[in-house]
């Protein structure tokens, strides 16, 4: 049987359930795009920049069972896409990158886009494959899919040289995909030991991340059995429902809100699931972790990296936590947590009230904004954020109750994530509300990708927190330096961006306008039009994440360096 490589590649992508590819056609992948046009399952989506394509693919993988897939040209297409690929790699998100490749059969050198792509992407992918025959294409795509989705997920790169795409080649057969991998089973003895340790603890606590996104039901059962507070990482914010009375919020150390700090103050045994104890999640490693740490993760390499474990269990979070819940049920030691629940409820209410002391007439208060946003959205809404001050406001003030419904850049922490990632989410969830919350700095990086949403009739709402600065960085500069070096943004016309991209524009200038503008924005999005809301945000009040990180890092300085830093700040604030 003879087939072109393009035919074989599209067949394989259909078999593994790909619904969309994101990218830009060029001379080295025209055959692939032409074959995609014949597919009844896969729609190729044109983007304005391959960086946007990789973030859209992330949005697909984060909020659906389909794998986000790029279709790019080699060299320039790859380098443009690398921010999103790197984000997928460090955040543990599956992704396929299908790249064209220069011809291997011509004997020519210095071809257009000729570059060693393996060297280029080896640090930000789980695996790289370069096709060397027609017979390799289908099994390679299947293998790449399994690598991308098994263990700790991540991106896999496949390069298909142009001659294989264009020309016919003899192949044995076009065979359907059949799953061949299985994640390792958890050690039952370790699970029993973990159950005993947790049930005997006086103040157990639970800390969950993105790796536990598919295990929410088991987590709820374990929390209820233990009467244990539950804190999350930023990326894992939605892995445990905010509406549950044992949910404390993002973090449990100095970077956490009072509910989290108080609930975990006496924690003597911790169950950590699908977390890495990374810099963001721990507020610059400012948390205190108990000696009795039980760490569950699919990737054994994360154990004991930053905090030593008492028991480490390699395994899929969903399967392992179900076994742990069963083991805890057999012990029959359910704890009364009513006092803890009341404290958490009161502290949350008190903290939210702090953000709504007095309505502002010249800016938008974060407290009133997120209160209103909750009124105009529901549990099925997907929220996508970027990197910046708004990220931690959302982490602390935005309630999210469904797993995978809060999507953020995390360990790679790339600005420009929100706008295209939200579009990817909307492609896979057309009947759900999709909300993007982004700072003006991050918005400027990828805002023209909204044209992709307009072209494809995707009605989603972007709230651009507009303060004219790189807010998070300028905050970190202002206190110690009394200067904002290279963190002031030019006077951008957000409405002009909306006009250029065919989006509807609204301006939200103060607290009195919040509800009315929000209602109009969501109504307009129902007409399959992207909406940009220019929010004149007030960043005066600092989040606990910001305050906690500053406090933790300053405490690590030597006495001499503390004196130098504090003296410099005092002198500048008094005399400059």
Specify the CATH number for the domain of residue 17.
3.40.50.970
Residue at a domain's end among 323, 344, 365: 344
Q: Has residue 570 been placed in a domain?
A: no
Pair (531, 390) in one structural domain: yes
Q: Has residue 554 been placed in a domain?
A: no
Pair (231, 134) in one structural domain: no
Pair (438, 537) in one structural domain: yes
Q: Has residue 164 been placed in a domain?
A: yes
Pair (512, 365) in one structural domain: yes
CA dihedral 225, 295, 548, 361 (to 10 degrees): -60
Quote the Cα angle for 256-258-260, to 5°.
Answer: 55
Query: Lowest-pLDDT range, 30-34, 148-152, 481-485, 492-496?
Result: 481-485
User: What does the pLDDT look like over 377-415, one tens digit per residue?
Assistant: 999 999 999 999 999 999 999 999 999 999 999 999 899
Q: Name the phi and psi angles at 273, rounded to 5.
A: -130, 125
Over range 104-119, report the average pLDDT. Answer: 83
Return d(Cα 56, Cα 428) in angstroms, integer. Answer: 10
Return d(Cα 24, Cα 132) in angstroms, integer. Answer: 24
H/E element holding 314?
A: strand 311-314
Q: Find where tokens 């994440």 sit.
A: 545
pTM: 0.95
Tell me what pLDDT residue 477 has.
Answer: 65
Look up the domain containing 137 and give its range: 2-170
Domain count, the chain: 3
Confidence of residue 551 (pLDDT cuts 50, 70, 90): confident
Q: Find where tokens 């790019």 sit.
A: 72
Pair (265, 158) in one structural domain: no
Q: Has residue 32 been placed in a domain?
A: yes
Return d(Cα 56, Cα 427) in angstroms, integer. Answer: 9
Residue at a domain's end among 287, 310, 344: 344
Question: Which one, of 191, 418, 216, 193, lies nearest residue 314 by Cα?
Answer: 191
Tell me what pLDDT residue 496 has.
Answer: 97
Pair (291, 213) in one structural domain: yes
Pair (333, 378) in one structural domain: no
Q: Has residue 550 been placed in a domain?
A: no
User: What does the pLDDT look like over 290-335, one tens digit per residue?
Assistant: 999 999 999 999 999 999 999 999 999 999 999 999 999 999 777 8
Query: Lowest-pLDDT range, 125-139, 349-363, 411-425, 536-550?
Result: 536-550
Tell me what pLDDT residue 445 has.
Answer: 95
Pair (398, 520) in one structural domain: yes
User: What does the pLDDT look like over 442-499, one tens digit per residue?
Assistant: 999 999 999 999 999 999 999 999 987 776 776 776 667 767 777 678 889 999 999 9
pLDDT of 224 higher than 80: yes
Q: Count Cβ atoms within 10 A of the Cβ of residue 287 and give its class: 0-12 exposed, 13-18 middle, 19 or more buried.
A: buried
pLDDT of 168 higher than 90: no
Pair (49, 142) in one structural domain: yes
User: What does the pLDDT look like over 233-292, one tens digit per residue?
Assistant: 999 999 999 999 999 999 999 999 999 999 999 999 999 999 999 999 999 999 999 999
Q: What is the mean pLDDT of the chain?
A: 94
Q: Has residue 20 been placed in a domain?
A: yes
Q: Has residue 568 been placed in a domain?
A: no
CB distance 270 to 294 below 8 Å: yes
Tell me what pLDDT residue 221 has.
Answer: 97
Q: What is the 3-state secondary structure (H, E, C) of 419-448?
A: HHHHHHHHHHCCCCCEEEEEEHHHHHHHHH
Pair (286, 432) in one structural domain: no
pLDDT of 205 higher than 90: yes
Q: How many helices (H) and strands (E) does the chain have?
A: 22, 20
Give Cα separations from 352 to 70, 372, 542, 570 (angstroms). 41, 13, 13, 32
Return d(Cα 23, Cα 2) in angstroms, integer. Answer: 28
Residue 370 token pair? 């997120």
Instruction: Give the CATH number for residue 224.
Output: 3.40.50.1220
Pair (310, 329) in one structural domain: yes
Residue at a domain's end among 344, 363, 396: 344
Pair (35, 145) in one structural domain: yes
Tell me what pLDDT residue 1 has.
Answer: 83
> Between 201 and 185, whose confidence is greater?
201
Residue 481 token pair? 């330096």
pLDDT of 575 higher than 80: no
Q: Has residue 573 been placed in a domain?
A: no
């Amino acid at each position: 049987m003879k087939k072109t490589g393009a035919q074989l590649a599209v067949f394989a992508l259909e078999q593994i359930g790909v619904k969309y590819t994101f990218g830009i056609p060029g001379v080295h992948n025209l055959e692939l795009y032409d074959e995609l046009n014949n597919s009844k399952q896969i729609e190729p989506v044109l983007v304005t920049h391959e960086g946007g394509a990789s973030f859209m693919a992330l949005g697909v993988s984060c909020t659906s069972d389909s794998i986000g897939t790029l279709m790019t040209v080699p060299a320039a297409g790859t380098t443009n896409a690398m921010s999103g690929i790197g984000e997928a790699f460090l955040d543990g998100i599956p992704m396929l990158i299908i790249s064209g490749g220069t011809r291997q059969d011509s004997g020519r050198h210095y071809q257009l886009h000729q570059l060693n792509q393996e060297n280029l992407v080896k640090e930000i992918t789980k695996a790289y494959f370069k096709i060397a025959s027609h017979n390799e294409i289908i099994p390679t795509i299947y293998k790449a899919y399994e690598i991308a989705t098994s263990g700790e997920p991540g991106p896999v790169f496949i390069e298909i040289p142009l001659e294989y795409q264009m020309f016919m080649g003899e192949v044995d057969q076009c065979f359907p995909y059949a799953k061949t991998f299985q994640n390792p089973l958890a050690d039952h003895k370790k699970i029993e030991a973990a159950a005993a340790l947790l049930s005997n603890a006086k103040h157990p606590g639970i800390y969950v991340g993105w790796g536990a996104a598919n295990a929410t039901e088991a987590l709820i059962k374990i929390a209820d059995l233990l009467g244990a507070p539950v804190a999350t990482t930023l990326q894992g914010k939605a892995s445990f429902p905010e509406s549950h009375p044992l949910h404390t919020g993002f973090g449990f150390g100095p970077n956490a809100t009072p509910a989290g700090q108080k609930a975990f103050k006496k924690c003597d045994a911790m169950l950590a699931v699908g977390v890495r104890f990374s810099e963001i999640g721990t507020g610059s490693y400012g948390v205190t972790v108990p000696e009795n740490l039980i760490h569950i993760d699919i990737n054994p390499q994360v154990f004991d990296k930053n905090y030593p474990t008492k028991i480490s269990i390699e395994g899929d979070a969903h399967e392992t936590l179900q076994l742990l819940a069963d083991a805890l049920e057999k012990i029959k030691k359910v704890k009364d947590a009513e006092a803890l629940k009341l404290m958490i409820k009161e502290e949350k209410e008190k903290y939210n009230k702090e953000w709504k002391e007095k309505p502002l007439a010249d800016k938008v208060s974060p407290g009133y904004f997120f209160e209103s946003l909750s009124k105009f959205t529901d549990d099925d809404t997907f929220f996508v954020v970027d990197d910046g001050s708004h990220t931690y406001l959302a982490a602390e003030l935005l309630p999210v109750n469904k797993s995978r419904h809060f999507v953020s850049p995390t360990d790679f922490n790339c600005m420009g994530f929100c706008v295209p990632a939200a579009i990817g989410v909307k492609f896979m969830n057309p009947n759900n509300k999709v909300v993007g919350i982004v700072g003006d700095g991050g918005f400027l990086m990828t805002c023209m990708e909204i044209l992709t949403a307009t072209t494809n009739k995707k009605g989603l709402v972007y709230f651009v927190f507009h303060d004219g600065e790189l807010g998070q960085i300028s905050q970190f500069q202002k206190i110690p330096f009394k200067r904002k070096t290279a963190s002031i943004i030019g006077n951008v016309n957000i409405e002009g961006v909306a006009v250029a991209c065919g989006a509807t524009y609204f301006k939200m200038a103060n607290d009195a306008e919040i509800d009315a503008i929000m209602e109009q924005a969501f109504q307009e999005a129902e007409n399959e039009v992207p909406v940009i809301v220019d929010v004149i945000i007030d960043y005066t009040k600092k989040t606990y994440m910001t305050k906690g990180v500053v406090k933790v890092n300053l405490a690590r300085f030597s006495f001499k360096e503390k004196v130098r830093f504090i003296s410099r700040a005092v002198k500048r604030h008094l005399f400059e």
